[in-house]
């Protein structure tokens, strides 16, 4: 009887441990937030590599843009702009949305109102 | 397509504001639509300069726009009539109250990112939709958020420097460590240089020396005019004394900008 109760208690402790580990492993997951939460201020822009800074500045200028729009602004190839914009999105600096078949990058909701 | 010009300097007292205001007036008289924004939130001065030309009390300031308290058309004041101009002449004023200055000094990184986004929004609105030819920013000296945001969002930053060696040194450092990284087409305007009586060859020599030190084109050299310094709050020289040699020099600079 004593052994049964010890086994039961042990199982309960193990259950609690598993739950703690599950919560801990979740909190350690390096998932990027759905919404861009990293501020892309001027000092952050200054610290970015030249290639990414150029894409970010082009996007600031255009408000929101496809990789093709960015390529027209920077004079680089569409594929390169797409890679840089996606890299900036993964790091949380930009957001992207799908408009029809196009992927549109943006820094934040544009100020539609004056 | 219009252009954004920021007037900046590495240190205070170089004459940024008097240059920004009169350059705006000269370009207005030259037939362009102008908007002048006071982005020097730590030491706002455009309100005092334009006070006489503003008929109604100021309802909203640029501070309110950046703090999401109003729309930009509630901030911009049309002073075309008081300048006898046919073209648009809008000014956006910074709040000169000590509380507003204090508030603008304690902003977060996230707020500054939003301010940069708003400056780019203003740029699109004024240049594309409102057909402004020149949007001119009067900025704070040195490297601080309000000025670097202005520089980042401008097409042609103009750095005003004096012949003081310390100023030249600070300007050279600022150009290489900030402007060059953002690949800006920066122009240098030397102000308060030597007296008018100096021979032209000395001016050329100084220009060559400065070009070498600063590695950027010099758009003009304005001598030190004691009466401009003595004018105190009478900054609108281009209207009150359009034949003044200071204004003539600025007109030459404005012409270079138009053709730039």
pLDDT score for A53? 97
Query: For an interface test with A, which of B60, B113, B148 has the most A Cβ atoms less than 10 Å from its Cβ?
Result: B113
Express as a percent the part of chain A with pLDDT over 70: 68
Check whether A110 has a pLDDT greater than 60: no
- Of residues A22 and B254, more confidence is placed in B254
Q: Is B191 on the interface with A (CB under 8 A)?
A: no
Q: Is B123 on the interface with A (CB under 8 A)?
A: yes
Q: Is B109 on the interface with A (CB under 8 A)?
A: yes
Check whether A36 has a pLDDT greater than 50: no
pLDDT score for A10? 67
Residue with the two structure tokens 């052994």 = A3
pLDDT score for A111? 41
Q: Do A111 and B118 touch (CB under 8 A)?
A: yes
pLDDT score for A37? 57
ipTM: 0.85
**Can you list the domains of chain B with their CATH numbers?**
3-259 (3.40.50.300)
Q: How confident is the model at residue A7 (pLDDT cuts 50, 70, 90)?
A: low
Q: For chain A, where are the alpha helices, taking DSSP H only?
A: 2-27, 42-47, 50-62, 67-74, 78-90
Q: Do A114 and B149 touch (CB under 8 A)?
A: no
The pLDDT mean for chain B works out to: 91
Check whether A113 has a pLDDT greater than 60: no
Given a cut of 70, the residues of chain B with pLDDT beneath it are 195-198, 230-234
Start-to-end CA distance of chain A, whole Å, equals 77
Distance between CA atoms of B158 and B19, rounded to whole angstroms? Answer: 10
pLDDT score for B70? 97
Q: Is B243 on the interface with A (CB under 8 A)?
A: no
- pTM of the shown model: 0.84
Query: For an interface test with A, which of B74, B109, B119 has the most A Cβ atoms less than 10 Å from its Cβ?
Result: B109
At a CB cut-off of 8 Å and minimum separation 6, what does B56 contact? none
3-state secondary structure chain B: CCEEEEEECCCCCCCHHHHHHHHHHHHHHCCCCEEEEEECCCCCCHHHHHHHHCCCCCCCCHHHHHCCCCCHHHCCEECCHHHCCCCCEEEECCCCCHHHHHHHHCCCHHHHHHHHHHHHHHHHHHHHHCCCCEEEEEECCCCCHHHHHHHHCCCEEEEEECCCHHHHHHHHHHHHHHHCCCCCCCEEEECCCCCCCCCHHHHHHHHHHHHHHHCCCEEEECCCCHHHHHCCCCCCHHHHCCCCHHHHHHHHHHHHHHHC
Check whether A38 has a pLDDT greater than 50: yes
pLDDT one-digit tens code per residue, A40-86 = 999 999 999 999 999 999 999 999 999 999 999 999 999 999 999 99
Nearest CA in chain B to A53: B182
């Amino acid at each position: 009887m004593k052994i049964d109760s010890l086994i039961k208690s042990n199982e309960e402790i193990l259950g609690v441990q598993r739950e703690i580990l599950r919560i801990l492993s979740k909190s350690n997951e390096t998932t990027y937030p759905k919404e861009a939460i990293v501020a892309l201020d001027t000092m952050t822009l200054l610290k970015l590599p030249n290639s990414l800074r150029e894409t970010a500045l082009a996007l600031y200028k255009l408000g929101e843009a496809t990789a093709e729009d960015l390529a027209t602004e920077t004079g680089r190839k569409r594929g390169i702009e797409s890679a840089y914009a996606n890299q900036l999105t993964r790091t949380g600096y930009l957001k992207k949305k799908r408009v029809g078949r196009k992927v549109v990058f943006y820094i934040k909701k544009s100020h539609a109102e004056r | 397509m219009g252009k954004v010009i920021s007037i900046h300097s590495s240190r205070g007292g170089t004459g940024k504001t008097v240059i920004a205001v009169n350059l705006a007036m000269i370009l207005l008289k030259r037939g362009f639509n102008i908007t002048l924004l006071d982005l020097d939130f730590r030491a706002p001065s455009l309100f005092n300069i334009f006070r006489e030309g503003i008929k109604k009390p100021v309802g909203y300031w640029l501070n309110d726009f950046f703090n999401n308290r109003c729309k930009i058309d509630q901030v911009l004041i049309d002073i075309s009539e008081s300048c006898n101009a046919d073209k648009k002449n809008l000014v956006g004023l910074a709040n000169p109250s000590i509380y507003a200055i204090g508030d603008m000094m304690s902003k977060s990184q996230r707020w500054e990112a939003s301010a940069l986004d708003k400056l780019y929004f203003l740029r699109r609105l004024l240049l594309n939709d409102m057909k402004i030819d020149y949007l001119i920013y009067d900025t704070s000296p040195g490297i601080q958020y309000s000025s670097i945001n202005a520089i980042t969002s401008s097409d042609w930053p103009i750095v005003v420097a004096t012949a003081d060696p310390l100023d030249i040194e600070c300007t050279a450092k600022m150009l290489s460590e900030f402007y060059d990284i953002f690949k800006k087409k920066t122009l240098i305007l030397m102000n308060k240089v030597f007296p008018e009586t100096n021979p032209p060859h000395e001016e050329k020599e100084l220009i060559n020396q400065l070009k070498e030190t600063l590695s950027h084109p010099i758009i003009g050299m304005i001598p030190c005019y004691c009466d401009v310094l003595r004018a105190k709050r009478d900054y609108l020289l281009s209207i009150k004394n359009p034949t003044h040699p200071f204004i003539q020099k600025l007109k030459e600079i404005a012409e270079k900008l138009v053709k730039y």
